[in-house]
Amino acid sequence: MSPHKVPYATYDQVPAFRRQGVFWLSWILFAPIAVGILLTGDVYYQKKGEVRSFGMANRIVAMLFALIWIAAFIQAIFGGPQSPRATP
| Mean pLDDT value of segment 57-73 | 83
* 7, 11, 36, 62 alpha-carbon torsion, rounded to 10°: 110
Q: Does the structure show a pLDDT above 70 at 80?
A: no
Q: Is 85 helix (H, G, I), strand (E, B) or coil?
A: coil
pLDDT (0 to 100) of residue 88: 62
pLDDT single digits (tens) 4-20: 678 999 999 999 999 99
Residues 39-64 have a mean pLDDT of: 88
- Listed range (7-16, 25-34, 41-50, 77-86) with the worst mean pLDDT: 77-86
Q: Name the CA radius of gyration of the chain, rounded.
A: 18
* Per-chain mean pLDDT for the chain: 83
**pLDDT given for residue 1 in this prediction:** 43
